[in-house]
Structure 1
Amino acid sequence: MRAVVIHAPKDLRIEDFPDPAPGAGEVRVGIEAGGICGSDLHYYHHGGFGTVRIQQPMALGHEIAGVVAAVGEGVRHLSPGMRVAVNPSQPCGVCVHCREGMRNQCLDMRFMGSAMRNPHVQGGFRKHVTVAAAQAVPIADRLSLAEAAMAEPLAVCLHAANQAGQLMGKRVLVTGCGPIGALMVLVARYAGAAEIVVTDVADAPLAVARSLGASQVFNVAARPAAIDPWRAGKGVFDVLFEASGNQAALRLAFDLVRPGAVIVQLGLGGEMTLPVNSIVTKELKLRGTFRFDGEFELALRLMGEGRLDVKPLITASLPFERAVEAFELASDRSKSMKVQLTF
């Protein structure tokens, strides 16, 4: 069985990979679509992010969907031929955080395509994966497998929206318009935001944000003064979704949010220096957001019911044998939003 395996920065190979039969409570899924995520790109370009580094060869990928090929003993709700999205999270279910209902904070999480553990948890860019049956979620007939593979990043944004609280009628700012920032536009619009302004330093992703329903978009590299009207008074935005992971973007946004605003930090970019005086004097609420839990099934339901359309974000699909080409394309923000591999 073939897989897309990272060995070191820029050392991405198509290799044979173990292909176990499903055991009790497991299913074997033939993967058909897999989206390249920002974390996959960090492994490809840098060998990891922060203190997380590749220690041994690892199959990448955690945004995946496919068709059930076989089921193990005791699996009753799935059968061969069913189309499913694969939830890459496998929390332990017994640690203190799982028992508190915070399964995304599991102390023994197994997350596909992650080098946080050693040995690493192998990812889903493979012809077949065997996973716990609970990780394989059936999808609606109307959904393509390419759309279903978007459930994971959409779930990340749904969880971020939960962290922000009520968005109905709110003025929302999104900084950074990669796939996550663009999906935040979709989620904020669905949640009833009255105004959604998006900033980035490139024109191509901003054009996508506008097509998804952003009220206004601004290239703050080309037109830094364009956002000055939102500095009025003490700022005007009720909610900020910071999706770039860039300190400069977050620092700029502090001047644009109103007193009492909620700031949800989505992007990961390393350590940042924050203007604590602004946080104190404007009584801002700074909240982190990490992965997701029940939002994975919610993402599939909202897409399956036609309430959220992620198709405009899928800008290219390449055979997995051309993985290096696909990763290079996904790294070029002027040419791509979400690049997927087909299997």
Structure 2
Amino acid sequence: MKAVVVHGAKDLRVDEVPAAVPEPDGVLVRVVYGGICGSDLHYAADGRNGAYPVEEPLTLGHEVVGVVADVGQSASGAPPIGTRVAIHPAVPCAPAGAAEPTGLHLTPGGTYLGSASTRPHTQGGFAELLPVGVGQLRVLPDNLPLRRAVLAEPLAVALHGLARLGDRVRGARVLVSGAGPIGSLAVTGLNHLGARTVVAADLQEYPLQVAKSVGATEIVRLSDGETCEPGSFDVVVEAAGAAASLASALAAVRPGGAVLQLGMLPGGGVPVPMASLIAKEIALFGSQRFDTELDAAIALLAAEPALDAVVSHEFDLGSTAEAFACAADSSRSAKTILRLSADPDS
């Protein structure tokens, strides 16, 4: 079978790898779509993601959906072959339908699809076939096409971060700093949670138009010199993963407001003026992946066809290099996806 494998910095290949089989108590999924994430781009360009270098060939991808292709002989509770599913990329992970937070996403030593954080590395889902545990599957509703469902993992990340804010969102004026895929998904999540106004700010026009199409009330074109009035937002969601954006967030939030650090900041020291955190009594929240929110993300995707706009480009495996180049260019793309096998919805 074919898989998208990174061998080192600027060494991304579509390799022929041994065909996967399910574990006796697991399932095999025929992967249909995979979304290219920022971590995939870092592995492909730099041979590492933050503190985690690629030390062996690594199949990328953790935002994947597909169809159950085979079931292990001792698997219990597995959906039938042919069932359309999203995949929770973490082990351990919260069970489907979990009502209360589990904290499993913070478990030391846990694994995540397509990650070099473990030795051996945890191989990812940009492959034609992917073996996973039964507990990682989420059956998709009939009215949710796979092409939109591929947004389930990043939307779950956004919803988990917003949940960290508690009751601060309802009725609030909110700024989303960075209108890329995670920022645009946060816009939808904020509206769903009852924000009064959602403003999206970015340097690029393309992501701003995507954010507007999924519910941003206003947009701020930073490259045109437009700015956000200091102290004018109850909540700011930093979704760009840039030190300058965090500094702007601390300036834009009102005294007593809250900032959610949703974007992944670079490792090491980050030069951000933190005095306002004290002077304005700002509540600063971090957010790591997600816990129980995958089910809520799937339900929201089924209810919001407008989220189709977040998927801007689709490439087949033969055009993987072009797909990664497109995903890396925020001036012309939002979420870029790979089609790894035939879509039964088409």
Question: TM-score over 0.5 for the alignment?
Answer: yes
Kept in 2, the 8 Å contact 1:318–1:342? The answer is yes
Paired with 1:42 and 1:55, the residues of 2 have a C-alpha distance of 14
1:179 aligns with 2:176: no
> Any idea what SS the aligned residue of 1:311 has?
helix
Instruction: Give the gaps of 5 or more residues in structure 2.
Output: 95-100, 341-346
Amino acid of the residue matched to residue 181 of structure 1? G
Aligned to 2:287: 289
Q: Letter of the aligned partner of 2:323 in structure 1?
A: A
Partner of 2:98: none
One-letter code aligned to 2:257: A
Deviation at 1:119, TM superposition (A): 1.1
Encode CA deviations 1:190-214: one digit per residue, 9 max, x unaligned. 1111111111111111111111111
Match of 1:319 in 2: 316
Any residues of structure 2 matched to 1:244-323 within 5 Å, and which? 244-270=240-266, 271-304=269-302, 306-307=303-304, 309-323=306-320
Q: Distance in 2 between matches of 1:334 and 1:312?
A: 15
In 2, the alpha carbon distance for the partners of 1:268 and 1:21 equals 34
Work out whether residues 243 and 267 of structure 1, in 8 Å CA contact, stay in contact via their aligned partners in 2. Answer: yes
Structure 2: distance between partners of 1:168 and 1:191? 6
Q: CA RMSD in A?
A: 1.7
Counterpart position of 2:207 = 205
Tell me by how many angstroms 1:307 deviates: 4.3
In 1, are the aligned partners of 2:93 and 2:105 still within 8 Å (CA)? Answer: no
Q: Distance in 2 between matches of 1:189 and 1:68?
A: 33
Residue 193 of structure 2 aligns with an amino acid whose one-letter code is: A
1:154-196 CA distances to partner (integer Å, 9 max, x unpaired)? Answer: 0000001101112111010111111001111111111111111
1:13 paired with 2:9, answer: no
Shift of 1:20: 3.3
Q: Is the contact between residue 24 and residue 75 of structure 1 (CA under 8 Å) also seen in structure 2? A: no
2:145 is aligned with 1:144: yes
Q: CA deviation at 1:28?
A: 0.2
Instruction: Report what 1:165 is aligned to.
Output: 166
Identity, % of aligned pairs?
Answer: 39
Q: For residue 114 of structure 2, give the secondary structure of its aligned residue in structure 1.
A: coil
Corresponding letter in the other structure for 2:71 = V
3-state secondary structure, aligned to 2:223 = coil
Partners of 1:92 and 1:106 within 8 A in 2? no
- What SS does structure 2 have at the residue aligned with 1:310? helix
Shift of 1:23: 2.2
Question: Equivalent residue for 2:344?
Answer: none
Q: Does 1:332 align with 2:329?
A: yes
Structure 2 match to 1:70: 70
Q: Is the 8 A contact 2:212 2:219 kept in 1?
A: yes
Distance 1:101 1:313 in 2: 29
* Runs of 4+ displaced beyond 3 Å: none
Map Cα deviations across residues 33-89 of structure 1 (whole Å, 9 max, x no partner): 111111111111111232211111100001111110111113234110101011111
8 Å CA contact retained: 2:33, 2:338: yes
Preserved CA contact (<8 Å) 1:19 1:129: no
Q: AA paired with 1:188?
A: L
Moved more, 12-21 or 32-41: 12-21
CA distance in 2, matches of 1:92, 1:328: 32
Change (3 A) 1:268 1:66: same
The secondary structure found in structure 2 opposite 1:318 is strand
Q: Is the 8 A contact 1:5 1:15 kept in 2?
A: yes
Whole-angstrom distance in 1 between the partners of 2:183 and 2:219: 12
Residue 147 of structure 1 aligns to a residue whose secondary structure is helix
Residues matched between the structures, number: 331
Q: Kindly indicate whether the alpha-carbon contact (under 8 Å) linking 1:114 and 1:120 is maintained by their aligned counterparts in 2.
A: yes
CA contact (8 A) 2:6 2:13 kept: yes
TM-score by structure 2 length? 0.92
Q: Secondary structure at the match of 1:134?
A: helix
Q: CA deviation at 1:308?
A: 6.5
SS at match of 1:255: helix
8 Å contact kept, 2:34–2:62: yes
**Residue identity matched to 1:164:** L
Residue 101 of structure 1 and its aligned partner are, at CA, apart by: 2.5
> What is the alpha-carbon distance in structure 2 between the residues aligned to residue 239 and residue 197 of structure 1?
11
Contact 2:177 2:237 in 1 (8 A): yes
Letter in 2 for 1:339: T
